[in-house]
Structure 1
């Protein structure tokens, strides 16, 4: 699914109005109908409804929702924030129509007129939409804080009031919604961790915008959906043997961190790779041979950390390095040798990334077939501090192009930046995956997919999606609180089945 900017979405509205054709007021009626039907289906319309409207088209949506719900005998009270200015034409027309159905309309001119909201109340936030161009202040800021601090359930229309669609609203006043009802496609602002507490649950509603605009319009970002993964996932030949699915090499583990090597190895094998060799410190030999009997183990000459690269790198189709390897100087030399000598795809994670941030000159050795998988702190150590999630995404795109490699920025919705400018947000995953070892599992999956012949973009998109989907299945079974990283690997099979079955 493409992710459009606020301007692109406004253009989509106007394209629909011009080419369907349809009047703007009729399109607003569609928006209201989609929202009203959702409120009825979710039984929110059975509770006292307090609809807060600005005087723009978002407020017009709110007035139309009020009118439609009144025809369903809902208990509706409407509040219009008085700005001293006349509303848009569609707002004014909807206000005229609403007067025929109710006189329970209040104009808010000061905080003295704010209603007291109770636990059983439902607030519909139709104050401001995506046209906002500056932080909230004055009476509207007070109203947003009043509603957000109330015990009522808050449902925002299009975006929570105060949220910018295409830039950060960090440290700004925003409506805290329990649900956001938006339309057709995700907006970029919904996909950042810093906005999650304001958006609540996102619900995309279909309002019949013209499909030709969607097909013809280029988007800077896309979101990974099930059909995206399905298009990438390769069907196995019935006559295939293990040699057809690649031989992966993992550099992982050191004294006290052999568990990272175990987690990554198991995930690599579960990703479908034909063969796996793990290069680890001598202390990891027995644990790995015991915990992962399907893997071959190649021990380093050093007892406690990695000190030398594998003798014959040409045997391997893909290499992963980083989980639990530590930051020893000799280990940094292993990373340098690997980047100098290996020409196959490489995944760099965890301590491999930390070593890159310490040994800045190593970045020059990265090549086209590298995938970097930093979490936000590792990203900042590599590429410098950023002020907010929006800046982090833009820098990831810049660095992917500069270093000519794929960057997987692990987050609330993990972000994949490709050197050709393509960029993806992931749609799977949950807060239960914020647990030790989750990144090691992802490293194993990505390495295994690369070894099977997926290119770096395909491996990143498919691997991140499967990793998150397996986490979702694990959370459904174990709970987000109780799940651990190995649960993600345990549900990888179910994730693959989901993708392959939908692909039939």
Structure 2
């Protein structure tokens, strides 16, 4: 599924109307009918409804929804924000249709007392939609605050009123929706954490827009889903041997942080690497060899950073960062690896924190290296950001500038590609919000690269598999009780789920 901008969504409507010779009022009716069908299927028709409308096409949707709910036998009150002009053509058309029915229509003007909202009434928010270009203010902002103060169930149509499709909404007034019914595709606003409290539960309703439009545009973003992930999977050939699946080097661990090294190492092997060598401090050598006998190990000196770096020639891929700390020795080893490596690397955790203190080292990374920061790690490298939207834009810019793949971790993880394309991941859940989950992802992507996947494939597949393994782990242990090691133990089942798709 694609993620479109407000302009592209508007273009899709127009394309469909031209192709099908359908009037805009009829497309509005189609969208409104889908909303009412959702309300009916959710068992909500036994409620009263208060429909709040602006005078744009989103308000036209609201009027049509109010009429259709009335025809279903619901008690409906319509509230229209009055600010001195007639509204759009389709809004006026739907208003005329309502005037023929015994439905109460109230016009809300500046200076008038806003109506009380009875406790059992469901609010339908159709004040503002995708096309807004400025923050809600005046009476509009007052109505938004009034609805939010009611604590009633709120169903927002298209977008919660006050929310921008492609820009940050905070700190502006915005409806706190219980449910948002949007149309045909995701918008960027639904994929950022800062908006989650505004749109509530999200449902994307198919209103039958013409699919041909999508081949005529370049989507802003795409969604990484199970269909795409299963298409990337490559079966292991039956006559394969361990020489076919690479030898990964993982620079990980330090005193008190060997758990990170173990998680990343296990994930690397579970994801398909044939051979793995862990570069660990002397006092971590026995730990890694005991916890993971399948891995080899070499020593990264903790006390003598002047010791020569082992040759990197034998390794297919290098992952660096989980648990290494940010001390002088770790920084020196990382710098030497960056200078010596001639292949893309996976950079995470403390390796990212070291890079943030040595920004010029970014130029040492080979093209298509993969960085996997969470938002705070990303800000340490790229500077503070005041919104998720700004952070996403910077990640895409830096990915192009340095020819890197940047995986900006979150509930909907962003994967920004060197060529400018960007993806949001759809797998995973809140069970994974625990220490060690990121170390597992580092190991998984390192394993996929060792296995022979191209960097773009490894990034997309690794992020999706990671989330899917987390979902499978939560099915077993519950959302609260999943450990990072449980994610590792479900990597095999995640592969099987994709292979059986």
The 5 Å alignment of 1:361-400 reads 361-400=360-399
Report the TM-score, using the length of structure 1 for normalisation: 0.95
Q: Which residue of 2 aligns with 1:406?
A: 405
Deviation at 1:307, TM superposition (A): 7.1
Pair 1:149 & 2:176 matched: no
- Contact 2:81–2:140, Cα closer than 8 Å, also in 1: yes
Distance in 1 of aligned mates of 2:308 and 2:104: 76
- Contact 1:221–1:425, Cα closer than 8 Å, also in 2: yes
Pair 1:489 & 2:465 matched: no
The 5 Å alignment of 1:2-81 reads 2-81=2-81
Deviation at 1:49, TM superposition (A): 1.7
- Contact 1:54–1:126, Cα closer than 8 Å, also in 2: yes
Q: Which residue of 1 aligns with 2:339?
A: 340
Q: Does the residue aligned with 1:487 lie in a helix, a strand or coil?
A: helix
The 5 Å alignment of 1:90-239 reads 90-110=90-110, 112-239=112-239
Deviation at 1:126, TM superposition (A): 0.7
Q: CA RMSD in A?
A: 1.7
**1:342-393 alpha-carbon deviations (Å, 9 max, x no partner):** 2223100011111111122312211113111111111111111122111111
Q: Which residue of 1 aligns with 2:446?
A: 447
Query: Deviating runs (4+, > 6 A) in structure 1?
Result: none
Distance in 2 of aligned mates of 1:43 and 1:56: 29
Deviation at 1:445, TM superposition (A): 0.6
Q: Does the residue aligned with 2:410 lie in a helix, a strand or coil?
A: coil
Unaligned runs of 5+ in 2: none
Q: Does the residue aligned with 1:149 lie in a helix, a strand or coil?
A: helix
Report the TM-score, using the length of structure 2 for normalisation: 0.96
Q: Does the residue aligned with 2:185 lie in a helix, a strand or coil?
A: coil
Distance in 2 of aligned mates of 1:240 and 1:112: 77
Q: Residues 149, 484 of structure 1: CA spacing in aligned structure 2 closer, same or farther, 3 A cutoff?
A: farther
Distance in 1 of aligned mates of 2:476 and 2:150: 34
Unaligned runs of 5+ in 1: none
Q: Which residue of 2 aligns with 1:480?
A: 479
Count residues with an aligned counterpart.
501
**1:131-170 alpha-carbon deviations (Å, 9 max, x no partner):** 1111111111011111112221111111110011111112
Distance in 2 of aligned mates of 1:452 and 1:307: 32
Question: 81-90 or 135-144, which moves further after superposition?
Answer: 81-90
- Contact 1:369–1:405, Cα closer than 8 Å, also in 2: yes
Deviation at 1:494, TM superposition (A): 2.5
Question: 427-436 or 207-216, which moves further after superposition?
Answer: 427-436
Distance in 2 of aligned mates of 1:308 and 1:325: 17
Q: Does the residue aligned with 2:214 lie in a helix, a strand or coil?
A: helix
Q: Which residue of 2 aligns with 1:292?
A: 292
Q: Does the residue aligned with 2:366 lie in a helix, a strand or coil?
A: coil
Distance in 2 of aligned mates of 1:111 and 1:295: 73
Distance in 2 of aligned mates of 1:87 and 1:225: 40
Deviation at 1:112, TM superposition (A): 4.7
Distance in 2 of aligned mates of 1:189 and 1:312: 47
Pair 1:357 & 2:356 matched: yes
- Contact 2:429–2:471, Cα closer than 8 Å, also in 1: yes
Q: Which residue of 1 aligns with 2:327?
A: 328
Deviation at 1:121, TM superposition (A): 2.6
Distance in 2 of aligned mates of 1:149 and 1:499: 45
- Contact 1:405–1:419, Cα closer than 8 Å, also in 2: yes
Distance in 2 of aligned mates of 1:245 and 1:7: 45
Deviation at 1:118, TM superposition (A): 4.4
- Contact 1:470–1:492, Cα closer than 8 Å, also in 2: yes
Deviation at 1:113, TM superposition (A): 4.2
Pair 1:316 & 2:325 matched: no
Q: Does the residue aligned with 1:467 lie in a helix, a strand or coil?
A: helix
Deviation at 1:296, TM superposition (A): 2.0
Deviation at 1:306, TM superposition (A): 7.7
Q: Residues 141, 248 of structure 1: CA spacing in aligned structure 2 closer, same or farther, 3 A cutoff?
A: same
Deviation at 1:242, TM superposition (A): 2.6
